[in-house]
Amino acid sequence: MTSPRILVVDDEAHLRELLEIALVKMGLDVDSAENLTVARARLAQHDYALILTDMRLPDGLGIELVREVTCGEKVIPIAVITAYGSADNAVMALKAGAFDYLSKPVALDQLRLMVQSALRIGKPAEQNRPQPDARVRGGPGLRLIGQSAAMQELRTQIVRLARSMAPVAITGESGSGKELAARDIHALSPRADKPFVAVNCGAIPEALMEAEFFGYRKGAFTGAADDRDGFFQAANGGTLMLDEVADLPLAMQVKLLRAIQERRVRKVGATAEEAVDVRLISATHQNLSECVESGRFRQDLYYRLNVIELKLPPLRERLDDISLLVAAILGRLSVFAPQAEQASLTPAALEALRAYAFPGNVRELENILERALAFANDGLIEVADLGLKGVAGARPAEASMFDDGEIDALAGVGAPIASAAMTASETAVAGAGMQRAGLELPPSLPDYLDDIERDVIRQALARTHFNRTKAADLLGISFRQLRYRMQRLSIHEQD
Ligand SMILES: Nc1ncnc2c1ncn2[C@@H]1O[C@H](COP(=O)(O)OP(=O)(O)OP(=O)(O)O)[C@@H](O)[C@H]1O
């Protein structure tokens, strides 16, 4: 078996030699070139598994080679060697399509990690092989569903980004699939068989952040009974997703920047640093450049994280994907709710979804379908079952008024009125309760709201002599919704 062949392009003979020795020790064949002209000639003669090029060469810039190689037909990872602290060059090279970069003086442990990762390119991990439903998903290994032009473009970008180490900043509204996109990048990358670690930066108490990110040594602080790894070590060799990155406190931003620049972290309480090989993906639904302008986010960290930007379109801008998404979501739900397998939407229900603004994007569609299934007769989901009332047709500006919590409340996720759509009457009841200033707080909000809902339904039933159809009309909900609620709240005819 022949060893992978590497091309080293550098005009400094001693550095070329150093790299050659290190690479040969790793069992690789090495060719070298002292300038761009020689490098081009070598490339025309041989296939290379990796190219390592210096940035400044006597007859041009290494970045020219990066552009030529990435535009070429063969997929060859190319990494640049930049002067120490030259963030500009590193970012420019990554933007131009370089697979990765190394700073001078080249640390051998980092060189080794980078080469290993580069050599995995082109060898898809088992889980990335085409899946049976690849057509629906739109490509091998991709979990993001959709055939709209926007999604096709997004997938092309994801496939390209998967081959690089460049930090990616994913933006998009809540529920639009940022985490799924990050997982797809990881799953298609040569790091797929290593961990994908997603961290919600807004959910970690500031005092624990450093220990959570970098780990700690036994005895570093009260309660540190053992050595513990942090997120960086946990994601070593793989991908670390910094979700809601705008929520990072400034002090932590400084430490994170350092870890990114040095590719090393130091556990809390440790004296030595350790090399980490982590591909970073960040995500936020906030406007990060506005956060930079207002001083809430460091410009230098922004620059480092935002090398490549991936924008996820909101669902309302790709309504063509609704049918595919509905089919896929019902398929997924059938694991928990067998009736979902045979479920379908009436043409009117599908139309209603197409006319809806989806402030909570795909996550909201999932919630809507989950609820609708509970109401659907014989698995046929009708417009009323979708519970779109009240927010249907909301314009984007209004849509952005909803944050996750509000969407969850509307969708009933985890709330007592949970698995049912929040109807106008519920909103009124909840609203009336909230307006009562000085109200004694109930020990359990779910029980409290259940009691109110039970009272209201009982009153409506009493007024209609237990005619459930009329009672549902009175309350502005469908018969099935009323029946479902009565079951849930254990309201029986004899009550
Ligand atoms: N294109 C898509 N195809 C299939 N499922 C999707 C798609 N986009 C989003 N989803 C699903 O929608 C839900 C929300 O997606 P995800 O968590 O990736 O969104 P997000 O943008 O990261 O949300 P947040 O900003 O709230 O963290 C998940 O269950 C995900 O599987």
Instruction: List Cα–Cα distances, 444 to 125, 176, 408, 418, in angstroms.
Output: 49, 33, 18, 15
Q: Residues 123-137: pLDDT tens digits?
A: 544 444 434 343 334
* ipTM of this complex: 0.98
Q: Residues 88-124: pLDDT tens digits?
A: 788 888 989 899 998 888 888 889 988 988 888 755 4
* DSSP code at position 274: E
Neighbour tally for 107: CB within 10 Å: 15
Identity of the residue numbered 6: I
How would residue 381 be classed by pLDDT, with cut points 50, 70 and 90?
A: very high
Identity of the residue numbered 17: E
C-alpha of residue 262 to centroid of ligand 1, in Å: 32
Question: Which residues line ligand 1 at a C-beta cut-off of 6 Å?
Answer: 144-146, 172, 174-180, 243, 285, 325, 362-363, 366, 404
- Asked if pLDDT for residue 407 goes beyond 70, the answer is no
Query: Percent of the chain at pLDDT above 90?
Result: 51
Which pLDDT belongs to residue 91? 87
Which pLDDT belongs to residue 408? 33
C-alpha of residue 265 to centroid of ligand 1, in Å: 31
Instruction: List Cα–Cα distances, 275 to 111, 229, 263, in angstroms.
Output: 11, 13, 6
C-alpha of residue 359 to centroid of ligand 1, in Å: 13
CA-CA-CA-CA dihedral for 327, 328, 332, 338, to nearest 10:
20
Instruction: List Cα–Cα distances, 426 to 28, 400, 417, 419, in angstroms.
Output: 68, 22, 9, 13
Q: Which atom of ligand 1 is nearest to the CA of 179?
A: 18
Instruction: List Cα–Cα distances, 481 to 199, 236, 271, 372, 495, in angstroms.
Output: 38, 49, 62, 9, 19
For ligand 1, atom 10: residue with the closest CA: 177
Q: Which atom of ligand 1 is nearest to the CA of 172?
A: 21
> Tokens 């809507």 correspond to what residue?
368
Q: Which atom of ligand 1 is nearest to the CA of 151?
A: 1
For a ligand 1 pocket test, name from 137, 147, 170, 179 the mutation site with the most ligand atoms within 8 angstroms of its C-beta: 179
Neighbour tally for 42: CB within 10 Å: 18
Which pLDDT belongs to residue 326? 94
Mean pLDDT, rounded, for 136-155: 78
Q: Residues 194-243: pLDDT tens digits?
A: 999 999 998 888 888 999 999 999 988 888 889 999 999 999 999 999 99
Which pLDDT belongs to residue 138? 44
Check: CB of residue 62 under 8 Å from CB of residue 93. yes
C-alpha of residue 235 to centroid of ligand 1, in Å: 21
Which pLDDT belongs to residue 132? 36
Neighbour tally for 83: CB within 10 Å: 12
Beta bridge partners of 216: 228, 268
Q: Which atom of ligand 1 is nearest to the CA of 328?
A: 4
Q: Which atom of ligand 1 is nearest to the CA of 137?
A: 3
For a ligand 1 pocket test, name from 176, 185, 241, 400 the mutation site with the most ligand atoms within 8 angstroms of its C-beta: 176
**Chain center to CA of 365:** 17
Q: Residues 467-481: pLDDT tens digits?
A: 888 888 888 887 767
For ligand 1, atom 28: residue with the closest CA: 363
Domains (range + CATH), the chain: 5-119 (3.40.50.2300), 144-311 (3.40.50.300), 319-422 (1.10.8.60), 437-495 (1.10.10.60)
C-alpha of residue 367 to centroid of ligand 1, in Å: 12
C-alpha of residue 144 to centroid of ligand 1, in Å: 8
Check: CB of residue 377 under 8 Å from CB of residue 478. no
Mean pLDDT, rounded, for 68-94: 84
Q: Residues 15-40: pLDDT tens digits?
A: 999 999 999 999 999 999 999 999 99
For a ligand 1 pocket test, name from 199, 312, 362 the mutation site with the most ligand atoms within 8 angstroms of its C-beta: 362
- In the structure, how many helices (H) and strands (E) does the chain have? 23, 16
Which pLDDT belongs to residue 334? 80
pTM score, whole prediction: 0.72
Instruction: List Cα–Cα distances, 282 to 93, 207, 270, in angstroms.
Output: 19, 21, 27
For ligand 1, atom 25: residue with the closest CA: 174
